[in-house]
Structure 1
Amino acid sequence: MPAIVLIGAQWGDEGKGKATDLLGSRVDYVVKFNGGNNAGHTVVVGDEKYALHLLPSGILSPGVTPVIANGVVVDIEVLFHELEALSARGVDVSKLLVSANAHVITGYHRTLDRVTERFLGKRQIGTTGRGIGPTYADKINRVGIRMQDIFDENILRQKVEGALEQKNHLLVKVYNRRAIEVNEIVDELLGYAERLRPMVVDTGLELNRALDAGQTVLFEGGQATMLDVDHGTYPFVTSSNATAGGASTGSGVAPNRIDRVIAVVKAYTTRVGAGPFPTELHDEWGEFLRSRGFEFGTTTGRPRRTGWYDAPIARYSARVNGVTDFVLTKLDVLTGLEKIPVCVAYEVDGVRVDEVPVSQSDFHHAKPIYEEFEGWAEDITGARAFDDLPPAAQDYVLALEQMSGSRISAIGVGPDRDAIVVRHDLLT
C-alpha cells in the first residue's frame, strides 16, 4: 500500500482539502507535515462547510487517523478550539495524534511576529501574525519548546526562561513593548498537559509501523511549492518546507517509502501576501476571478491576488516535487469566458524565458507571454466524466496537461464534495 504526498503547486489555496477528501475514504492516515495554523483548507460535505487551519483535512473522513507530525508548529489554544468546534458539529476527533517533537507556538512568538512585521514597514513579508515564523526560528536556533516539554515542568521552565532572556530585551529595548513573564507562559502551557497527554505520541514510529502493516498514508502539505522556504519566492515565503521533500523531514518517514506525489493546481492562479506574481490581474478580469472563485483567505479573510494560469510555475512544481499526478481545481470558475489566456513563458529584459527564473529580481520583473484558448458557456458543475465537459473545456485541460509536466488525473468542477472528474486513479 502506498505512501502519498499531496502538496500545492502554486502559492497555496489551490483546494488541497478537496483533493484530500477525494482520497480520504481510501487511506488510513492523513498527516500534516509542515506549517501551522497559517494555512486554511475549506472542505464542503453535503450542505456543511468546514474551515480547517491547523488540523489535517482527513479528520473529516470517518475511519482515518489524523496526524500532526513533527514538522508542524502547534498553537495549542487553536488546536483545542478547532477540536471543540468539530466535536460540536458531530465530527469524531478522538483519533488525532500529535508528534511529541512538534514545536509549540507561544504567546511571545505571536507578539514577536506582529511587532516585527509592523517594524518592517514597506518591506513587510505579509505574514499572518500567528507566530509561525518566530517559532520556526527558535526551532533552528535550538531554543524552541516541543510538545513533550509540556509534560516536564522543570524542563519547560528552563526553556521558557532561556527564550525570554533574549526576547524580552528585544521587545522592551527595540520594540518598546512590555516584557513577558516566564510564569505567564509556563502556567498557560502546563494547563494543557492533561488534555494533550492521550494524543501526544511518537508519530514517526506510528506511521512507519502503519506502512509496514500495509496501510495507506497520505501526507498533506500546508501552503504550497512557491511558498517553500527553500524553493519558493524567497523571502516572500512561509517558514517551512511545503514541497514533497518536506514530507520526509516533517514526519520521520524515509523518502524511499513515498510512492506518489500529487500536486493540486488551480485552473488559474492566486496568492495571498506580498511577492512577485507575473500573471497578476489588476483589472475587471482579476475581480471576475476573485468574485467567481470566492478568493478570500480561509485563515485570514484577505482578498487573494488573482491571475491567469502560469504554466512555467506548474512545470517548476512538477520538477521540484517529482509530481506523478496533478489535480486541477476550480475549472468551473472559468465558465463564461470567451477567451482564456495562459502564461506559457516570460519575457525578461526582452528575452523569452521558458522556466521560472532563479533570480528573484528577474522573476519580479518577468512579463507573462500568453497563449489564448477558447472558452465555454456550458455549466460544467454536473460533469463527472471527462467526456461530460464541453469540447473547449477538454481542450483547455489537455493543453494545460501538455504544458505542466505531468498528467492531470482529476478535475474539480464545483465546490461540492463530489463535484470532480476523475481521469486516472490517484493511487495507481
Structure 2
Amino acid sequence: MDGHTIVVGLGFGDEGKGAVVDALCHDHPVTTVVRFNGGAQAAHNVVVDDRHHTFSQFGSGTLAGVPTHLSRHVLVEPIALAGEARALEALGVTDPLRLLSIDADALLTTPIHVAANRAREDARGPARHGSCGKGIGETTWYSLLTDRHAEPGDVVEHQEVIGVPGPAPTVGDCDHPAVLRRKLDALARFYEPLVGDRYRVDDLVSLYRDFAAAVRTTTGDEVGRLADRGPLVFEGAQGVLLDQHHGFHPHTTWSTVTPDNAKALLGHRHATVLGVTRTYQTRHGAGPFPTEDHDVLTRFPERHNDTGHYQGSWRAGHLDAVLLRHAVTACGGIDALAVTHLDADRLKVATAYDAPLPTTDLTAVLTDRTPTLVDLPDPVAWLEEHLGLPVLVTGAGPDRAHYTVRTPARR
C-alpha cells in the first residue's frame, strides 16, 4: 500500500489493529506511526516469532523499527509509558524512548485521574460502564471544565463538578515546573473529596520533569512535517462502536475513534482509510451484543485477552454486518478492509435484525434484538461483495508471518 494509511477498528475494539499496523510497517517503508486517539488503555498485540508485546502508548510499528508520534489527541500517561519502554527494551528494542515524539498539547493522565476513574466505576456497582480503569474519561472530562467555566455543583457530561477546577496539565507543562505544579495542585484539590490527599504533587512534578528530559516534545504541525517526509500509518485505538459520538452509551470511550482526528492532522493530504474487523464479533465488558454466542467464545480461546477488574469479561459472538455498516457510515465511509482471525472456522454472519436499527436510543434497541444468521464460509469474499470494499490486509493467526498485505486493484 502506498501513501498514508489510517487504521481504524470497526468493532468494539480488539479487532487486530496492532497486528495490522505491524504488517503495514513491515511490508513497506513507513516514516512514523501516529497515534490519533485514546491513551494508555489501548492493548494492541503484536507477535513476531518468539517476541510478543501488548502495545499501549507506543505505536505497533515499534518492533518493525518505526518511530511513534503521539499527537495532541492522545492522552499520555508517563508512568505507564516508562513501564512500556522497559518492556520493549527487554524484547531487544534499543532505547525505545528515542523512537518517540509527543505533541506538547497532549493531555497528561496522572495517578489522580486514574484513582478518580476507578472510584466512580466502583461506585456504580453492577451498573458499571465497563471502563478500563486507566483514567481516560476522567482526563478528558476534567479538561472540559475550564473551557465551560464550570463551577461546583454544575453537571458536565452527566458528572457533577465536585470542586473548583483549574486548567488541565499537558505534556508541554512538564518542561515548566512552576506551571505544572500550579496545575497539579488545582487537580489534587479538586479531586480530594473523591480520592483523598494521598498524592504528593512535588513527587509528581519531579517524575514528570524526568519524563520531559527523556522524550522529544514537539510543537506546531509535526504531523505535517512527518507526512512530507514519507508515508505515515495512523493507528487508532478502541473501535468505532465505542466512539463517544457514534457508540452505544453509556458503554463508550471518551474518544473520537473515527478517522476524523487523523484526517484533521493530515490537512489536505490524502490517506487510505483501512477498517479492521475480525471474522467474528468480540466485546470486552458491558454493553449490548446482539450476536453474542457462548459457543463462539469457547471455540476461539483468546490468548491475549482476559477478564479485566474494571473492564469486565471477554465476550464473543458471530460477525455482525449490521453493526459493520453502522461503523462504516460513522466513519464517513472507508476505502478498504483488513480482515483478521481468518483461521477461525464454522463462522456465521448476522445480515439483519428483527427490527431496523434506529438513529436514536441505540443501546436500548440493541439490547433486545434477534439477528438473522447465515453461514460465512469465505469471509473475505462475502465482505468484499456485501460491503463493496476491497480487502487489502488479511491475518490468519497471531504472528506477523500470518499476515498478508495485498496489492490494491488499479482503477
**TM-based fold match above 0.5:** yes
Q: Which residue of 1 aligns with 2:13?
A: 12
Q: Is the CA contact 2:70–2:102 (under 8 Å) kept in the aligned structure 1? A: yes
Give the letter aligned to residue 278 of structure 1. Answer: P
Q: 1:305 to 1:124 in 2, by over 3 A?
A: same
With structure 2 as the length reference, what TM-score do the two structures score? 0.86
Report the secondary structure of 1:192's partner residue: helix
- The answer to whether 1:253 aligns with 2:266 is yes
Q: Is the CA contact 2:31–2:231 (under 8 Å) kept in the aligned structure 1? A: yes
Q: 1:298 to 1:145 in 2, by over 3 A?
A: farther
- Which deviates the most, 260-269 or 64-73? 64-73
**Residue 3 (structure 1) shift:** 2.4
Q: Residues 336-375 of structure 1, C-alpha deviation per residue, up to 9 Å, x if partnerless?
A: x3xx321001113xxxx2x57542222222221112244x
Which segments of 5 or more consecutive residues in structure 2 lack a partner in the other structure?
A: 147-166
- The answer to whether 1:397 aligns with 2:394 is no
Q: Which residue of 1 aligns with 2:227?
A: 211
Matches within 5 A, 1:361-372: 361-372=364-375
Q: 1:296 aligns with which of 289, 296, 305?
A: 305
Give the letter aligned to residue 69 of structure 1. Answer: S
- The answer to whether 1:167 aligns with 2:174 is no
**Residue 188 (structure 1) shift:** 1.9
Q: Is the CA contact 1:227–1:233 (under 8 Å) kept in the aligned structure 2? A: yes
Which segments of 5 or more consecutive residues in structure 1 lack a partner in the other structure?
A: 172-176, 375-392
Distance 1:6 1:417 in 2: 17
Q: Is the CA contact 1:296–1:303 (under 8 Å) kept in the aligned structure 2? A: no
Q: Residues 40-64 of structure 1, C-alpha deviation per residue, up to 9 Å, x if partnerless?
A: 01101112111212211122222x2
Matches within 5 A, 1:329-344: 329-334=340-345, 337=346, 340-344=347-351
Q: 1:106 to 1:422 in 2, by over 3 A?
A: closer
Give the letter aligned to residue 111 of structure 2. Answer: G
Q: Residues 60-102 of structure 1, C-alpha deviation per residue, up to 9 Å, x if partnerless?
A: 222x221111111111111011111211321132221111111
Distance 1:219 1:126 in 2: 26
Report the secondary structure of 1:166's partner residue: helix
Q: Residues 103-146 of structure 1, C-alpha deviation per residue, up to 9 Å, x if partnerless?
A: 11112111111110011123210111111110111122243110
Distance 1:150 1:373 in 2: 52
Q: Is the CA contact 1:69–1:203 (under 8 Å) kept in the aligned structure 2? A: no
Q: Which residue of 1 aligns with 2:395?
A: 412
**Residue 16 (structure 1) shift:** 0.7
Report the secondary structure of 2:285's partner residue: coil
Q: 1:323 to 1:297 in 2, by over 3 A?
A: farther
Matches within 5 A, 1:16-415: 16-25=17-26, 26=28, 27-62=30-65, 64-92=66-94, 93=96, 94-142=98-146, 143-169=167-193, 171=194, 177-181=195-199, 184-202=200-218, 205-213=221-229, 215-248=230-263, 252-254=265-267, 256-282=268-294, 284-289=295-300, 291=301, 293-294=302-303, 296-297=305-306, 303-321=313-331, 322-334=333-345, 337=346, 340-348=347-355, 353=356, 355=357, 358-360=360-362, 361-374=364-377, 393=378, 396-415=379-398
Q: Is the CA contact 2:23–2:405 (under 8 Å) kept in the aligned structure 1? A: no
Give the letter aligned to residue 242 of structure 2. Answer: L
Residue identity over aligned pairs, in percent, reads: 30
Q: How many residues align?
A: 383
Q: Residues 145-172 of structure 1, C-alpha deviation per residue, up to 9 Å, x if partnerless?
A: 1011112122112112222333223x2x
Report the secondary structure of 1:73's partner residue: coil
Distance 2:190 2:196 in 1: 13
Q: Is the CA contact 2:244–2:254 (under 8 Å) kept in the aligned structure 1? A: yes
| Segments ≥4 residues shifted beyond 6 Å | 298-301
Q: Is the CA contact 1:316–1:356 (under 8 Å) kept in the aligned structure 2? A: no
Give the letter aligned to residue 326 of structure 2. Answer: Y
Q: Residues 226-245 of structure 1, C-alpha deviation per residue, up to 9 Å, x if partnerless?
A: 11111111220111111111
Distance 2:409 2:55 in 1: 23
Q: 1:127 to 1:401 in 2, by over 3 A?
A: same
**Residue 180 (structure 1) shift:** 4.1
Q: 1:5 to 1:426 in 2, by over 3 A?
A: farther
Report the secondary structure of 1:220's partner residue: strand
Distance 2:92 2:18 in 1: 19
Q: Is the CA contact 1:36–1:72 (under 8 Å) kept in the aligned structure 2? A: yes
**Residue 207 (structure 1) shift:** 1.8
Report the secondary structure of 2:303's partner residue: coil
